[in-house]
């Protein structure tokens, strides 16, 4: 019988009866998503990876979300893939606004290294135990966490005459650059 996501949740609840696991449901929640607390994240992930029935051997991706008006503000999302069962599963961890910290899963899946660096780069979420938590996509000396909802997009205003009063007036038609006798090679 093929493995289903319901079975995965059932196994998880059996194995971790004391951990508060919450299933997110909604009219358009298209993936099976469970919210787990940050402290038990590494244990849950190790179980999901090593259990012979579940075998979630690959961490497909990991990212962060900023849900600004909501408390807790941040979330980290982990999408797991079981190659042998062709099944996907999503885990989420909710993090508070001040000092968002979550243990790293690089010990479970080494691929999480760059994903966590990227999440740190964008949101400022710290991953305790990460071997090299530095900025990855933005310049090393960038200040700020650009993907947070209170960071601006940072665009440059398009210069129209109404919002740039000191703009230089365009000059009349420039003299032609090339004298008439210059020919294209093709001719």
Partner 1 sequence: MADPRETNPFRTLAPAPAAAPDPGLVQPRTEEENIREEIEKGILFTKVESVVHWAVNNARANSIWPLSFGLACCAIEMMAIAGPRFDVSRFGAEVYRGSPRQADLMIVAGRVSIKMAPVIRQLYEQMPDPKWVIAMGACSSCGGVFNNYAILQGVDKIVPVDVYIPGCPPRPEGLLYGILKLQEKILASKPELGPFPAKRRKGAA
Partner 2 sequence: MTLNMGPQHPSTHGVLRVALELDGETIVGAKPIIGYLHTGMEKQAEYKTYTQSIPQTDRMDYISPMSNNLGFCLAAEKLLGIEPPARVQAIRVLLCELTRISSHCVWIGTHAIDIGALTVFWYSFREREKVLSIYDMVSGARMTSSYFRVGGLSMDIPEGFLERCEKFVDEMPAHVDEYENMLTKNPIWMARTKDVALLSAKDAVAWGVTGPSLRGSGVKYDLRRNEPYSGYDSYDFEIPVGRGVGDAYDRYQVRVAEMRESVKIAKQAIRRIRELGEKGPYRVHDFKYVLPPKEEVKTSMEALIHHFKIVAHGFFPPVGEAYSVVEAPKGELGFYFISDGTPRPWRMKVRSPSFINLQALPLMIQGRLIADVIAAIGSIDIVLGEVDR
Provide the binding-site residues for partner 2, judged by CB under 8 A: 26-31, 33, 57-61, 63, 65-67, 77, 79, 83, 86, 88, 90, 109-111, 113-115, 122, 135-139, 146-147, 153-154
Counting every residue, how long is the chain?
187
124 binds partner 1 (CB under 8 A): no
For 54, half-sphere exposure in the C-beta direction (CA atoms, 13 angstrom radius) is 23
Distance CA 162, CA 118 (A): 39
Give how far Cα 82 sits from Cα of 15, 51, 88, 175, Å: 19, 11, 6, 67
Q: How far is the CB of 152 from partner 2 (least distance, A)?
A: 10
Distance CA 48, CA 146 (A): 33
Among 152, 165, 170, 172, binds partner 1 (CB under 8 A): 152
153 binds partner 1 (CB under 8 A): yes
Q: How far is the CB of 146 from partner 2 (least distance, A)?
A: 6
Nearest to 138 by CA among 122, 154, 116: 122
22 binds, among partner 1, partner 2, none (CB under 5 to 8 A by kind): none
Among 65, 77, 81, 138, binds partner 1 (CB under 8 A): 138
Rg (CA), the chain: 25
Residues that bind partner 1 (CB under 8 A): 138-139, 146, 151-156, 158, 177-179, 182, 184-186
């Amino acid at each position: 019988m093929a493995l289903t996501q319901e079975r995965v949740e059932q196994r998880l609840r059996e194995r971790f009866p004391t951990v508060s696991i919450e299933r997110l449901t909604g009219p358009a929640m298209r993936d099976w998503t469970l919210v787990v607390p940050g402290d038990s994240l590494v244990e849950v992930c190790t179980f999901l990876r090593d259990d012979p029935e579940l075998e979630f051997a690959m961490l497909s991706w990991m990212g962060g979300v900023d849900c600004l008006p909501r408390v807790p503000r941040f979330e980290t999302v982990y999408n797991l893939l079981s190659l042998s069962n062709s099944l996907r599963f999503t885990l989420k961890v909710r993090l508070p606004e001040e000092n968002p910290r979550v243990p790293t899963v690089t010990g479970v899946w080494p691929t999480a290294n760059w994903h966590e660096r990227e999440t740190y780069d964008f949101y400022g979420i710290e991953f305790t135990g990460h071997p090299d938590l530095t900025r990855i996509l933005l310049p090393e000396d960038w200040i700020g966490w650009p993907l947070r909802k209170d960071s601006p997009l940072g665009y440059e205003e398009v210069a129209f005459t109404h919002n740039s009063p000191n703009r230089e007036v365009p000059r009349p038609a420039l003299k032609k650059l090339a004298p008439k006798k210059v020919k294209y090679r093709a001719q």
